[in-house]
Amino acid sequence: MTQSLAPTLFEKTPFGKGELQSKVVMAPMTRVFSPDGVPTEEVAAYYKRRAEHGVGLIVTEGTAIDHPAAVMHKDIPRFYGEKALAGWKHVVDEVHSAGGKIIPQLWHIGSARRQGNTPNEDAPPVSPSGLAVDGSENGVALTKDELTSIIQSFAQAAADAERIGFDGIELHGAHGYLIDQFLWERTNQRTDEYGGDLEGRTRFAVDVVKACREAVSPDFPIVFRFSQWKGGVYDAKLARTPEELKQLLMPLAEAGVDIFHCSTRRIWEAEFEGVEPLNLAAWTKQVTGKPVISVGSLGVDYAFLSKKENDEHSIDENLRLVDEKLRAKEFDFVAVGRALLADPQWAEKIRDGKQEEAILYTKEAEKTLY
């Protein structure tokens, strides 16, 4: 039998009250396949297929918290309301029947929304300061009362997730969406306690984490996804040094984050210059002491938005690198996105040393719920 290039990736590992069948995490990927926000039988089957073939933890596509401007399309799944939650309960049951674990990604897109987007065309985009990630004006700045309401919606979603059987939650604090818009100085120009220096800009995220932690059991995992880059702004930085990264993340860890999901475009790239050449996940683990999920073009033959000169790592090389880093305990889990869109059996094939049989990702894979 051919040996896997990354055997450590397929070791069982503790998670919350249970155990994952592998360290492979299915990354959240927006599919827009839930009519009027309600996940269907097809959605349940889509997630179940990945659990059947070796994925340890599934993070769902981003799901809308209960706020009229949370998302930008009527077929992005909701995480509130009787019908949507019943749909998600069926998804959970199907994934569990296949031996997998699953957590919802709770999402508010902030000023990434445009006026007129469905499902609530009349709802204006909202954000810390009424600014999009490119610095242009878009929508309205949130009042403190509105912030309190949104925080409570996150907490209610967390409580509902535990009630219907999910294995934890993920808070989407990355990629230039609402929580990240508070973290980033370009989009957060507030002068109250939710703006200003890094401590102030972190306050909203901390309040969301605290509210969610209070709404769920102490051993119900809270994952926090963050990124340096924003949609369309790939050189953005929340932290320019390991010291700044610690200043950013420790309040979140102390508020109740159990695992950090560190979104990068290339898993092999060092995050900071002039210091130890660790990637963002490894630095996050070092400065917080928390378990981390690393991610970034592991399972594709062409890195996300790469130019050819950056495409120096093959899938085989990345698998060997991941195994080395997991054994060195630089990170704890590895998320895979596009490869699992293209091939539900990707993890199983990698586990069995049959990566040459894996179906490679194409843009066409995004158009089907396979």
Residues labelled as active-site residues: 177
Give the dihedral sign, CA 39/41/42/48.
positive
Distance between CA atoms of residues 336 and 7, nearest Å: 16
Cα diameter, the chain: 62
CB 167 within 8 A of CB 15: yes
Distance between CA atoms of residues 49 and 56, nearest Å: 12
Give the list of residues 6+ apart from residue 331 with CB closer than 8 angstroms, or none. 262, 279, 281, 282, 285, 292, 293, 294, 325
Give the list of residues 6+ apart from residue 347 with CB closer than 8 angstroms, or none. 10, 22, 24, 50, 53, 54, 55, 336, 340
Torsion angle defined by CA atoms of residues 309, 315, 320 and 325, in that order, rounded to the nearest 10 degrees: 70
Residues facing 257 on adjacent strands: none
Distance between CA atoms of residues 179 and 249, nearest Å: 13
Torsion angle defined by CA atoms of residues 57, 63, 67 and 73, in that order, rounded to the nearest 10 degrees: 160
CB 64 within 8 A of CB 76: yes
Distance between CA atoms of residues 66 and 119, nearest Å: 12
Distance between CA atoms of residues 36 and 156, nearest Å: 20
Residues facing 293 on adjacent strands: 261, 333
CB 358 within 8 A of CB 2: no
CA 155 to mean position of chain CA atoms: 17
Six-digit token string for 48: 């179940």
